[in-house]
Every structure is written in C-alpha cells, then in structure tokens.
Chain A
Amino acid sequence: MNRNHAFATYNEIEDRRLARLVKSTVRYLKRDWLNALGVSLVLLVFLLAIFGDRAAPYSPTHVDIESRLQPTSSVHLFGTDHVGRDVFSRVLSGAKYSIWMATVVLTVAVTVGIGVGLLAGFAGGLVGELLMRLTDLFLAFPGLIFAIAVAATLGRSLTSTAIALTTVYWPWYARMARGQALSLKNEEYVLAARCTGASLLRILGRHIWPNMLPILLIQVTLDVGYAILSTAGLSFLGLGAQPPQPEWGAMILEGRQYMRDFWWVATFPGLALFITVLGFNLLGDGLRDWLDPRLRKGRT
C-alpha cells in the first residue's frame, strides 16, 4: 500500500475545510440578494469605522463660519453645518462611534447576561428564582425610559450611555441563556458528561456553549443595530455624545432646528444611521435563516 495516497495530509484537510467554508459563504450570499446586501453594508460600515477619519476630505471638527450652512456641492458633498463643518467628513468619522459603542455595550451585556442566565438555569431552586426575578425587574421598565434615567443620573457622555444601555440589554441575554440552559441540561450528552464526573465549567464550555453559539450569534448581530439606534437616540436627547463629537445622533440633534431650510445637516447623518442598522438587521436575518434548521427545512 502506498502510504502517501492512503491518508490525507494535514494541509489537504485544512485546504478542504477552507474550500468548504468558501463554498458555504458563496451559497449563503447567492441564496438571497438581501443576504449579500446585508454583508456588503456591514463590511462598508466596518471599513468606515477603521478608515473613516483618513478618508474624510476635511477634519470633522474644523469650524469655518464663513462656509456655514452651504448646500451640497462638489466641494462639500453633503453640505456644511451651522458652524461650517463638512457634513460628509463628519458622517465618515461618525461610524467609529457607533461601532465602538455597540461593541462595548454588547460585550458587557452578553458576558453579564449569559453568566446570570446560565447560573440561574443550572443552579435552579431559590438562587435561580431570585436571579430571574431580578432579571424580570429590569425588564419591567420600558428600555428607553430606563436608559434615559440611568444616563441622566450618570452624566452626559458616551460612557454613561454605554452603562445605561448595558443595564437595558443584559436581561434579554440572561433570559435567553437560562432558556438554553434549561433545555440543554437534560440532554443525554450532558447527563453522560455529569456521570463521568465532568465539572460544571467543563460541561458549560464543552457542551452548552457550542450549542448556544448559533442562537447567540444571531441575537448579537440583530442587537448591534438596536444598540447603534439607542446610542443615537440618547445622543439626540442630549445625553450621549457631546459637541463637537461627530456622532450621528448628536448631528441630527444639531441639525433639527435647521431642518426647514437647510435639510442636509440632519438628513445625511440619519441616512448613514439607517443604512448601518439596515445592514446589521439584514445580516442577522440571513444568519437566522441559515442557521435555523427548522426554517431551512420549511423552504420549498
């Protein structure tokens, strides 16, 4: 027997995995044009978040009173605002605030929420009940009102907004994690792992976490859009980003009083916000359709 042909080499296995991944991705994008649109928009926003400052033709904070409230032109693609700042440059630079806020808020919310939820699901009993009643208490408040109250308490800044939004988002992940823990902890492979003496951490890391990952990935992708919208909403109320930060919600607030005669000041930041959130929602929807086997089975 020729050993060189009997077994695939490590490199050949890796190449096949990579080829399968590429094929899967292409199939996902071709499945529905909305999937491709979502991926494109998200990639564009991430590129802007990283390179937006460098791509901007002007400094986003450069004031030029003589050029204030100029309409769209070849010199100022999106016009200028009430102090002569280039709106196009500010829109490009604003992407990083949205992505950064969403990243921070969801990282903390997911960590806290998953921790609380898994503990509630596995511990059960009084501990589980107390944790879930605490979660329900946070959920009893309409989210935006709670976020406004917390952000106003802590002071007007993006940091306060991040803390406020984290307090609103973590209970949803706690609920999700608890549901998953309750449904998975009685699976045969988990019971088998317990019988062999596996520790709780090992069970959570090797068995529960990988099974939770698809649903978590979908939820986080969808929540990125909502976190960006919420940040902009709080900035619009004057609680989040403060002047001269080029955050989109704060830009819409500044442009509001000029809407009637100088519509571009508030319109373009809002459009950027809408396109960003649309991209993440389309991506999340596509992932949900792709990863949920029930939905895939139902397709004709």
Chain B
Amino acid sequence: MSRFLIQRIPLTIVVLWVLTVITFTLSHIIPTDPARLMAGPKASPATLERIRHRYRLDRPLLEQYATYVTRLFQGDLGRSMVSRRPVAQDLKEFFPATVELVLLAMTIAVVGGLSVGVLTAVYRGGLMDHLGRLFSVAGLSMPAFWLGLLVQLLVYYRLGWLPFGERISTDLSAFNHPTGLFTVDAILAGRLDAFVDVVKHLIMPATVLSLEPLAVIARLTRASMLEVMLQDYIRTARAKGLREQVVLARHALKNALLPTVTMIGMQIGWALGGSVLVEVIFNWPGVGRYAAKSILSADHSAVMAITLLIAATYLVANMVVDVLYVTLDPRISY
C-alpha cells in the first residue's frame, strides 16, 4: 500500500502540473479582453493599460505562467477580477458549500442506488425489477436543471415546504463556522435549530444532484449482483443452509461492490461538474456557481484556480477509491 502511494502521489502532482499548463493556455486564448471586462466598455486606453499592468496582463505569456506557478506554491491563487477579492478567499467561502452539497448528494445516491440495485437483482423479472429499471433509466435521462426548476416550482413556490437559495436562514446564521461545513459547524456549536435549517436548505439541491449518480449506481449494482449470484460460492452458501439475507449481504453484495466502488469514485467527479448547473438553478453559493460566473466573465485567475481545485479533488477521490479496493478485496495489491 505504501509503495502504491509513493508511486501514485508524484504521478498525481505531474498530472496537476500539466493541468496548470492546459488551464493557463485555455484561459489566455479567450478572445475577450479581461481588462475591458473589468473597466467597462467606456474605459479609456490609459485605464485599460493601468489595469493590464496591475494584473501583469501585459507581460509575455511564459512570464505570466512562471509568475502564476510561483504564486501557486506560495498559496496565492491571484485576484478575481469579478469579485475584486483574492481567489483563495472566494474558494475558502464557496468550496465548503459545494463539498457539503456533493457529500449529501452522494450519500443519497449511494444508499438509494445500492438499495434499488440489490432489490431489482433479487426480484429479477418481477414488477420491482421493471419499476427499478425504469426509474434508473429515467434518472439518467432527466435534465438536472429542468428537474431543479420543477422541484422548486412544486416544493418551494406551490407547497412552501422547503426554503430556496442560500445555505441557511439569515436569522439562524449567527454562530462560528470553523470548518465552513454548516451542518458540522451547527453541531459543534450545539445549535440543533441551525442544523435542521441547513439540512432543509440542502435537501432540494442535493436530491436533484443525486439522481443521476443514484441511477448509475443502481444499474451497476444490479448487473454486478446478477453476475455474482450465478457464482458457485453463492450456490454453496445456500446449500449450507444460510439464510438468504446472509447470502446476499455477506457473500453477494460484498463481491458485487468492487465495480460499484470504482463507479462511485467517478461519480464524485461527475457530481463536482454537475454541481455547476444545480448550483446555478438553486442559487447555491458554491464553487459550481462561482465557476460558471468566472468562465463567462473571462476571469482568468478564478478559472484556473477552480479547474485545478476540482481536478485535484477528483484525483484524490479516485486515489481513495483505489485504497478502498484493498479493503474490499484483500487479494488486490499494488
């Protein structure tokens, strides 16, 4: 395992370095002039020159890249031209919101997906199987941004069951946020009312975001379970007289989980990308919404930082998945 980590970590760093080159190149071939975007359409040439000089946009590309990488190592992600704040400060505020959203969405997806997958495999060919399969396909086909609008219309506008926009009601937000994860911070502060309010704000966007990964996990679990249930060791377990629940949980599901675990890792990456649309729809103050605004405003520094952050999170998530493999199947070694 330590040999695996020793090999994997440098490779991850190399991939991240190459990503800085790609994102830097992409953000600098945007035809729009970021200085013009900041200063407005009526800005004088002198003002534009001053802005370009201040943000070093008038330097050669290679020098701009070298400056960027040097600052990266110092923890300086540059200054956002849109928010006028350090990008690191923006990300510190927005990233925990996305993490909280994705964590809840993936929890719903994993629990729901595994349950639907196991049930449809066990009751294969029956009504449960057909309904489960139709639900899974429908989940994959549903445009998240459209579903988000429908959920808002029904749950917020018509029924008034849940709040919309922001992470917490203003009157309940007065407590410390050491982690930035409001659910955790509310528990640490002993504020059950705030915790419930945060969960109420989270439920709609998290449920919408969870639908596609839930469908993917359900289908894969079903396929894996069906394959595993044909194996000889399952027949042996049943012949020994073990109860069906024990056969399924201890023998079938554990072995069926391996491909599902890989998929969960990939779905975390999907959820990070998919959070862009969900956060825009629900006005959720996370990295996804920030990314959409930054890209559309040609905010170089923010775009590069966000892309690196999401790619790094994705790479780390996949590394964790690979480590989990060994836990599930001791025969695997790296």
Contact = CB atoms under 8 A, between A and B. Distances in A.
Interface in A111-166: 136-137, 140-145, 148-150, 152-153, 155
A273 interface: yes
A129 to B, nearest CB: 13
A270 B146 contact: yes
B30 A141 contact: no
Contacts of B153: 259-260, 263
Interface string B122-158: 0001000010011001101111111001101100010
Contacts of B303: 149
A120 to B, nearest CB: 18
Contacts of A238: 296
Q: How big is chain B's contact interface, by range?
A: 35 or more
B280 A155 contact: no
Contact of B157 (A150, A260, A298): A260
A174 interface: no
B277 A144 contact: yes
Contacts of B27: 149, 153
A298 B141 contact: no
Given A145-B291, A233-B277, A273-B146, 15 more contacts: A34-B130, A141-B314, A143-B273, A145-B310, A148-B295, A149-B303, A150-B26, A152-B30, A153-B29, A229-B143, A237-B277, A252-B143, A256-B281, A266-B146, A281-B140
18 contacts: A34-B133, A34-B134, A34-B137, A136-B15, A137-B15, A137-B18, A140-B15, A142-B270, A142-B272, A145-B307, A152-B30, A229-B141, A232-B143, A233-B144, A236-B145, A256-B281, A274-B146, A300-B125
Interface of A: 34, 136-137, 140-145, 148-150, 152-153, 155, 225, 229, 232-233, 236-239, 249, 252, 256, 259-260, 263, 266-267, 270, 273-274, 277-278, 281-282, 285, 298, 300
Return the 10 tightest CB-CB contacts between A and B, nearest first.
Answer: A142-B273, A270-B146, A144-B273, A277-B141, A278-B141, A152-B295, A145-B273, A142-B269, A260-B157, A281-B137
